[in-house]
Structure 1
Amino acid sequence: MAPGFEEGASSRFSRQIGQECMTCHNGLPDFEERSRNKFHSVKTGIDCERCHGPGELHVERKRAGKIIDTSQYADSTIVNPARLTKELQMSLCQRCHLQGNAVLKEGKSWKDFQPGMHLDSIMNVFLPEYKGQEDRFIMASQAERLRESACYTQSDMSCITCHNPHVSVEETSIATFNSKCRNCHNGAGKKSECTEDMATRNKEDDNCTGCHMPKSGSIDIPHVSITDHHIKTRHDKDQENISYTEAQKIQQFVGLKCMTKENPSNYEMAMGYLSFYEEFSKGRYLLDSAKIFIEQRPQGDLVPWLKPIVKYHFLRNDFASIRTYASRVRLDSVQDEWTNYRIGEAYFQAKQYQKALKYYQQAVNKKPFNLAFQNKLGSTYFQLGNYQKAERVFRLILTEDPRQKEAMANLGYLLLRKGRKERASDYFKKTLSLDPDYLQAMFNQAALSLQNKQWEKARTILQNILKKDPGNSKAQQLLQRLDAMERRS
C-alpha cells in the first residue's frame, strides 16, 4: 500500500498528492506554487531532465550543429552524471532513492534541486535508527544502505558504478551485475576470490548479489521484497526473514539521523523530529526530542525560531502557549504560511475570531490555492457574522475542487442559517454522498431535522453518529436536548 494510505486513510482515496510525491515519481510538473496540490500539467513519466538537468540550451546547440565529442570533452550545455564527483552523483540519486523524512530548507521548494547540486542545499533527509533491527530498512533506502558498505567507503563506487539508469534493473542480467563486482574483486586481493563452495553458489545461480545483497522486506511497507544495498560478506538471515509484524514489535527507536548533513544544527534537528512526528509516527518521544533542541536555541530574537516553536505546541494541541508566543512578535514578522495558519487556529480555538482572521488572511495571501487555509478563513468570517464573505470563500473553494467536503458542508450550514433549508439539504446530501462517514455533515443534517421538528429523523442521525463515534459528547448532548424537547412538546 502506498505511503499515506494506511490506517484507514484509503477509505475515500482523498489523500492529496503534493509536489513532494510528484517530483520523485514523475518528471517535474507545472505546479501552482501557491497551492498544496494544484497542477497545471503533469508529465507522463520520468524524463531526461530529472538526471541531466534543464535541456533547452543543449537542444538549441545541437540543432545549430554544435556537436561536442563527449568521449574527449565535457558538454557544458547539459549535466553528465558520470562527470560529477562521487558525492554529487550520490546527491542526484539520493534525491529520490533516499526515502525518509525530507525537510525543506527555508525558502526552498521540492522542484529546486537540480543535477549537480548538493542535496543538503535544498533539503535535509532524516531516517530513524533502530536498535535490534540493524539489518532492516525502509523501502527506498538504497543510497543509505550503500553508504554503509565497505565497497562504497573504500573506493570511488557510486550508484552508477553498477546501475545503468537507461536500462531497467528488471532487464539487466545477473551476468552484467556479476561483472560489475568482478571489476573490483578480480583476484588481485586477499578477499577478491569467492570462498563459498560451488554447491551453495549454484543455489543462487552463482549470483554475487544473491548472497551479498539479498532481497528482504522493509520496515515501513508490508508485503514487499527489495534488494538490500548494504553489501556484506555475510547477512543475518534470521533478521531478514522476520515478518513485518514481528519487526515492529522488537525494534527499539534510537533517534533520527540526518543523512544529508554531518552536523545538522539544533534548528534542523528540531524540524526533523517535528516533521517525523507529523508525517510518520505519533510517538511522544519525538516531540520530547524536538523540545530538547528547541530549548537549546540562542536567547534573544524569537522570530527565527517561531516556526518550530509554534509547530511543536500545535502538535501538542497546546494552543494557549501558541497565543503566548504570538503575542510577543509583530504580526508582519510571521512570514511562514503554516505558522500563520497554526497561530490563527490557536486564536480560533479560543474563539478570538478577530485575531484569528488576521493570521488566516496572511496564510491565504501567501498560499491562496491552499484550500484548507481558505476553508478556515471562510469559517472565521462565518463566526464573525460576515456571511457574504464566508459564502464567497466557500464557493471559491468548490470552484477549485467541487469535491471538497469541508467547504461543501460549511456552505450548506451557512445557507441553513440564512433560512435556505432546501438548498442547505442538497449540500448536506451531496457531502455525505462523497463521504458517508463525515460527521460534520451528519451534524448539519441533524440540525436541519431539528429545525423542521423532524424529531425521529434527527434522533436516527445522532444515533448513527454514536455508532461511528461512541464517545462523541456533542451527539450525546444533542440527544439529551432532543429528549427534553420531545417531552415539552
Structure 2
Amino acid sequence: MRPLALGLAFIVLVFGLAACLNPKGVDAGQEFLNLAPEVQYVGNETCGTCHEELYASYATHGMAQSFYPLAEDNAVEDFSGVVVRHAASGFEYVAKREGGRFVQEERRVEPDGSVSHQLTRTMDYVVGSGSAARTYLSEENGRLYELPLTWYTRDDSGGASGVWALSPGYDQNNARFSRAIPDRCMACHNGTSEYVPYTDGKYASLASGIGCEQCHGPGELHVEARTAEEEAPDSMDVTIVNPKWLSTDLRLDVCQQCHLSGEVSVIREGQTATSYRPGMPLAAHRAIFSLTNTDPNEVSVISHSDRMKESACFQESVSMDCVTCHNPHEGFQDKGPEYFNSTCQTCHAPDALQGQMASGELKEQHAPEANCFSCHMPKVTAKDAPHASFTDHKIRVVRDDAISGVASGAESELVPYYERDEGDEALRGIAYIVFARQSGGSPAFRRGLAMLESALDEPTGAGEAQFLLGFARLQTGDARGAIQPLRAAIELQANPERLNTLAQALEVSGGSASEAEKLYRQALDIQPAASDIRTNLGRLLEAQGRIPDGIAQYRAAIQEEPWQVEAHTLLGGALAKAGDVQGAAQALREAIKLEPRQADALTNLAVLLAQQGQTGEAAALFRRAVQADPRNANAQANLALYLLNENDAQGALQSARTALQINPQQQTAQQVLGILQQNGIR
C-alpha cells in the first residue's frame, strides 16, 4: 500500500485546561464587551471613517504594509535573472518578469547543460513590509503557498543593495512550491482573513495588512455604539479595547500575540488560531514551550518581547512596555536615531549620565546626541532569518564575555513558558510531537508518544491529546493501538482530521473497509474542500476494485487542489487500470512536472511506456525513479523487471535484491529473482 496522505494541519489544540488560571497579577480584561466571540470584525476602512488622522498615520507603519498584492508600482526587487541554487536538492531558482506578471521559476540543470525540469509559479502576494525582507506567496484556487525565494532588503555585508536568497527554512528543507500557509501563520502576518476550516491553507477572503482590530479587538460593537450615540464616553469605552486601560501584563500580551516566540506554540482546547482577542490573557489562548541548552543570547525574529523582559530597564520600571518606545500608530523606518534616543533620555538624562562616566571617551560616547541603542540594543542576525539583522531588545551593557551554562552534548528539554503548564506531562507530550513534526526529529516524536502513553493511562476528556496519541501510534506502526484513542477523540469532537486518521488506522490494521469509507465520507461532508481526504477515499475505493469511483474522487481532489501530486499520481495508476493509457500518461506526466522526484509516478509512467514499446524513455524513467527514491521497493522491482527483459541479468539481479532488502514480500522482485535462479544466475 502506498503511504497514506494524512492531510493534517498541525495547529494543535490542547486538552482540558480546567480553570482559566491567569498568571500572577494579570486581570482578565473582561470589562471590554468586544471580547465576546459573537462580536464581528469590521475592517480598517470602517475605522478610518471616524479616525482619519490615525488611519492615515498607521498606513505608514510596517504592520499596515505586512501583506499586499505584488504589482509594478510596489516592486523594488532586482528581476534581472539572478540564479539561486539549492545544492542539496539540485534545484535552482530565479525571480523574473514574465508576460506582464512576476514569477519564480524552478529548474534542474543536468551536467551536460540540459534543463530536465522547469516549473513556474506566480508571485501573487508579498509578506513583509520590506524593512528586512519580502517573502512571496502564490495563490491557486484560494490556497496560498510560500515561494522558495525571498528578497532580503540588505545584503550580507550590510549594504542596502538587497539580495535574492532562499526563504527562511528552505536551506535545511526545500519545500519548493508546496509550503502551504495555515491560519496560524496568517493570524500574525496579515489582518483578519476568512480561513476555510480543515483545509491546508485555503482562504475565502484575504485582508491587506495587519489592521486596527489586531490590537483593539473586533469593532462591530464600537461602531454600533458610536453610530447610535455620537459622543464617546469621557473615561474607558467598554465597546472597544484601548490597551492603555489594560494591566501591564495584558498590554504586553497584545504585542506578544505575535512577538513572543518559543520552539513550540500550542493552541489550547476551545481556542482557534485566530480566537485570541486583545484584553484576554495570552496564556488562556496558547501554551508556549522553549528548548533548554540553547544559547541564551540567541535571538529569534519574534523574540522581542521576551528579550525586553530580561532588561533591567523593564524589570526596574513600573510601566515599561512595547509602546514606551514604539508608537503603534506611526511608522518609524524613516526617522533618525533621536526618535528612540529621546525615549531613553526620559529616564537616563544626559547630564546625569555624564556625571557617571569616568573617562573622557565614555563621556563622549554618552553625549546628548549619542545613539543609545546602537550600543545597548545592537543589531544581530536572527537564527531563523538569514541575510537579515534585527534589533536585540535586551537593553544592556553588551560585553564580550563568553556565555556559560550551555551544556555541550546534553539533551535539550522542552520547558513551558507559563507556570500554569508546569507538571502537565500530557501537554508536554503534545509539544514534543509538534516539535518532532516541525524538526523531523524521531527521538522527540518517541518521547512525546511515551509521555502521552503515560499521561493518558486513565480515561480522560482530553480530546486533542487522545487524537495525537492515536496519530503518534499510527505513525510509529501501531495501527491497531491507534484505533481506541482515535475513537475516544472522535466521541468528543468528530472533526475531519480525526475522522481521516481513524479511517487510515482501520485500513492499515486490516479493519473494516466499509467503516473507513464511511469515516472518509463523514469528513468530506464536514469539509468538501479537504482534498487530501478525498484522495484517501479515492485510493480506498480503487483498492476495492471500484476503479471508476476512485477516478472520480481523484479528479475531484485535483479540481479542488490542482497542485496535489499524490492525486495526479494515483489518477494515472487508476486510469491505466481502466485502460485509458493516454489519460494515464498525461496524469503521470503532470505529477512528475509538479514533483520530478516522485518515484511512483516515474516508475508507473516508465511501465506504460515500456508496454507501448517506448523503451528509450522508459529506461531513463526507471533509473530516475530509483535515483529519486532508492528505498522505493516498487521502483527497484520494476527496474529489475525492465533490465531482465533487456537481457541485463546482472543489473536485474542487483535491483531485485535491493527491492527485497527493502521489502522481502515484494512479489515482482521475487519473480525476477526466481527466473534468474532458474537460469543459474545467483
What's the TM-score, normalizing by structure 1? 0.85
Mapping for residues 369-408 of structure 1, pairs under 5 Å: 369-408=529-568
2:328 maps to amino acid: P
CA distance in 2, matches of 1:181, 1:287: 49
Mapping for residues 60-71 of structure 1, pairs under 5 Å: 60-64=224-228, 66-68=230-232
Mapping for residues 147-226 of structure 1, pairs under 5 Å: 147-155=309-317, 156-186=319-349, 195=357, 197=359, 199=361, 206-226=370-390
Question: What's the offset of the Cα at 1:445?
Answer: 0.5
1:263 is matched with which residue?
421
State whether structure 2 residue 253 is matched by structure 1 residue 91: yes
Question: What's the offset of the Cα at 1:61?
Answer: 3.9
Mapping for residues 360-375 of structure 1, pairs under 5 Å: 360-375=520-535
Cα shift readout 1:179-232 (whole Å, capped 9, x = no counterpart): 32233345999x997647563575697222222222212233333211112222
RMSD: 3.3
CA distance in 2, matches of 1:360, 1:482: 37
State whether structure 2 residue 454 is matched by structure 1 residue 295: yes
2:439 is matched with which residue?
280
State whether structure 2 residue 200 is matched by structure 1 residue 36: yes
Contact 2:569 2:601 in 1 (8 A): yes
1:129 maps to amino acid: T
How many residues matched? 475
2:305 maps to amino acid: A
State percent identity of aligned pairs: 27
CA distance in 1, matches of 2:612, 2:303: 58
Structure 1 gap ranges (5+): 240-247
Structure-2 change in CA distance of 1:446 and 1:198 (3 Å): farther
State whether structure 2 residue 217 is matched by structure 1 residue 53: yes
Contact 1:119 1:260 in 2 (8 A): no
CA distance in 2, matches of 1:398, 1:263: 42
CA distance in 2, matches of 1:330, 1:89: 36
Which is bigger in relative contact order (C-alpha 8 A, separation at least 6)? Answer: 2
Cα shift readout 1:357-397 (whole Å, capped 9, x = no counterpart): 34434443444322222221221121122223322222221
State whether structure 2 residue 637 is matched by structure 1 residue 477: yes
Question: What's the offset of the Cα at 1:41?
Answer: 1.2
2:569 is matched with which residue?
409
Contact 1:139 1:226 in 2 (8 A): yes
1:233 maps to amino acid: V
Contact 1:218 1:226 in 2 (8 A): yes
More helix by share: 1
Structure-2 change in CA distance of 1:235 and 1:294 (3 Å): farther
Contact 2:602 2:621 in 1 (8 A): yes
Cα shift readout 1:302-342 (whole Å, capped 9, x = no counterpart): 8744223123334535435424755x859756635434333
CA distance in 1, matches of 2:538, 2:522: 14
CA distance in 2, matches of 1:36, 1:463: 33
1:9 maps to amino acid: N
Contact 2:198 2:496 in 1 (8 A): no
CA distance in 2, matches of 1:294, 1:123: 23
1:243 is matched with which residue?
none
2:276 is matched with which residue?
113
Mapping for residues 284-363 of structure 1, pairs under 5 Å: 284-285=443-444, 287-288=446-447, 291-292=450-451, 294-297=453-456, 299-301=458-460, 304=463, 305-323=465-483, 332=491, 335-350=494-509, 352=511, 354=513, 356-363=516-523
2:345 is paired with a residue whose SS is helix
1:110 is paired with a residue whose SS is coil
Structure 2 gap ranges (5+): 1-165, 648-674, 676-682
Contact 2:301 2:382 in 1 (8 A): yes
Question: What's the offset of the Cα at 1:251?
Answer: 8.3
1:130 is paired with a residue whose SS is coil
Cα shift readout 1:52-99 (whole Å, capped 9, x = no counterpart): 111233334444561226xx5122222111211111111111111113
Deviates more, 1:313-322 or 1:151-160: 313-322
More strand by share: 2
CA distance in 2, matches of 1:296, 1:236: 45
Which of 106, 123, 126 is the matching residue for 2:286?
123
Cα shift readout 1:116-157 (whole Å, capped 9, x = no counterpart): 1111222222222324x1111222111122222232233322
CA distance in 2, matches of 1:53, 1:290: 38
CA distance in 1, matches of 2:221, 2:456: 45
Which of 179, 188, 196 is the matching residue for 1:15?
179
Structure-2 change in CA distance of 1:313 and 1:59 (3 Å): same
Contact 1:186 1:193 in 2 (8 A): no
Structure-2 change in CA distance of 1:363 and 1:5 (3 Å): farther
Deviates more, 1:166-175 or 1:134-143: 166-175
